[in-house]
Amino acid sequence: MTTRYDEELAALPDLYERARRVPVDEPAAVLGHGRSPLLVVGSGGSASVARLLADLAMASTGVVARPLTPLELIGTARLAPGTRVALVSARGANADVLAAWDRVVDDGLRDVLVLCGDATGPLGRAAAEHSEAVLVEFPRVAAREGFVACGSVLAPAVVGALGLGTELPRRFEELWSRVRIPAAAEHLWERSSLIVLHGLATAGAALDLESKFAEGALGAVSLSDFRNFAHGRYLELERRVPETAVLMLESVGDARVAGATAERLPSDALVERVRVAGDPRAAGVGALLAVLHLAGAAAHARGVDLAAGGREPFGPTLYGLDVSGEAPAPPVEGPAPSGEGSSDLPPAR
């Protein structure tokens, strides 16, 4: 049976090429330049994009870059002047990203990128009203996606990666040809628990797979990079081999450590390696594309419609919870940072 999520997967080739055509000079000015720290903020599927872009920015420039959820941003002390912030959101309408925007306004930050799939939403309108905030609208597969994000994960990842100077293939087919998903990966979904091992380039994709398994109630997923797994996390596999599968998400740069790790795992463990060929800098987007398809395969195997969402009323009430009044952490005592000043960035409310 074809699901709505399947239809969105089928629309990804066109979406990728539309995202490739989005001008990236303005996002590059925030993401790829400057020596100040970069914070990339997102929740849900956008959190995966935030991780991918922050990792790519730091690997590319050497400047500290960190992914944050909106709550992590608004819960910190006053952000230092000059801090760069990128906000990623599919529609720019959820309470969390709007609270993050308001925090950026309150702290007087000026190097701000809003990467949003709907420029007419509350976040998009607020960003458009200020000449110094960069608003970039990315394309979507539909005005409103199903419950589990698909296109609104791939498109901002493509636009952001291009803004960071990543050379992505011009054609979707070329990117997809770099992804190697073994046919035996279908057996992963026969196990109740999944361990996902990743490298730096594929960390955002790993996070997205965990997100989709949670949002689709597909099963338990544990994440670890290849080396952190060696620090005690292997016991989850050692003690539960029959019900646990291991999925490795690898770029070319991970080949040595991934291969050495696979050789040392129990011989009776179910281990599958998904590889992304080509430039490691572009592997994060390729791995994300692989994960979107893997999630769809897992959903089919378990009879789940990823587009459906939940049925209980408590979910929407949680989603709509206003956190704008959350108090930030107290600032460190001492003189205020130089260069403080008010911002004329408009609030989103």
Q: Note the pLDDT tens digit of each residue in 52-68.
A: 999 999 998 899 999 99
Compute the half-sphere exposure of residue 143: CA atoms within 13 Å on the CB side of its CA.
2
- Same domain for 191 and 161, yes or no, is no
Residue 156 has pLDDT above 90, yes or no: yes
Residue 334 has pLDDT above 60, yes or no: no
| Contact (Cβ atoms closer than 8 angstroms) between residue 204 and residue 212 | no
> What is the pLDDT averaged over residues 150-177?
96
pLDDT of residue 319: 82
> What is the pLDDT averaged over residues 112-120?
96
- Same domain for 150 and 269, yes or no, is no
Quick check: is 347 in a domain?
Answer: no
Q: What is the rounded average pLDDT for all residues in the chain? A: 91
Residue 320 has pLDDT above 50, yes or no: yes
pLDDT of residue 167: 95
pLDDT of residue 29: 87
Closest CA to 28 of 115, 130, 90, 98: 115
Quick check: is 215 in a domain?
Answer: yes
Could you tell me which residue, 254 or 305, shows the higher pLDDT? 254
- Same domain for 161 and 181, yes or no, is no
- d(C-alpha 294, C-alpha 298), whole Å: 6
pLDDT of residue 174: 97
Quick check: is 332 in a domain?
Answer: no
Banded pLDDT at 339 (limits 50, 70, 90): very low
- Same domain for 138 and 192, yes or no, is no
pLDDT of residue 348: 60
Closest CA to 70 of 51, 47, 53, 45: 47
Quick check: is 259 in a domain?
Answer: yes
- Same domain for 163 and 181, yes or no, is no
| Contact (Cβ atoms closer than 8 angstroms) between residue 288 and residue 52 | yes
- pLDDT, tens only, 273-299: 999 999 999 999 999 999 999 999 999
Q: Print the domain residue range for 272.
A: 173-301
Residue 338 has pLDDT above 50, yes or no: no
- Same domain for 288 and 195, yes or no, is yes
- Same domain for 85 and 18, yes or no, is yes
> What is the pLDDT averaged over residues 202-215?
97
- Same domain for 166 and 90, yes or no, is yes
The count of other CB atoms within 10 Å of the CB of residue 17 is: 15
Q: Count how many domains the chain has.
A: 2
Residue 326 has pLDDT above 70, yes or no: no
pLDDT of residue 48: 97
**Amino acid identity for residue 299 in this structure:** A
- d(C-alpha 211, C-alpha 44), whole Å: 7
CA distances 51 to 40, 244, 251, Å, are: 7, 26, 16
CA geometry: angle at 115 spanning 297 and 67, to 5°? 70
Report percent pLDDT > 90 for the chain.
Answer: 77
Residue 113 has pLDDT above 60, yes or no: yes
Quick check: is 188 in a domain?
Answer: yes
CATH of the domain at 108: 3.40.50.10490
Quick check: is 344 in a domain?
Answer: no
- Same domain for 205 and 282, yes or no, is yes
- Same domain for 250 and 162, yes or no, is no
* String of DSSP letters for 13-41: HHHHHHHHTS--HHHHHHHSS-SS-EEEE
- Same domain for 85 and 180, yes or no, is no
Could you tell me which residue, 107 or 328, shows the higher pLDDT? 107
- pLDDT, tens only, 259-275: 999 999 999 999 999 99
> What is the pLDDT averaged over residues 317-331?
73
Quick check: is 220 in a domain?
Answer: yes
- d(C-alpha 182, C-alpha 199), whole Å: 19
- pLDDT, tens only, 16-42: 999 999 999 989 989 987 789 999 999
- Same domain for 160 and 207, yes or no, is no
Quick check: is 325 in a domain?
Answer: no
* Residue reference for tokens 């291009």: 162
| Contact (Cβ atoms closer than 8 angstroms) between residue 250 and residue 290 | no
Residue 333 has pLDDT above 80, yes or no: no
Banded pLDDT at 329 (limits 50, 70, 90): low
pTM higher than the cut 0.95? no
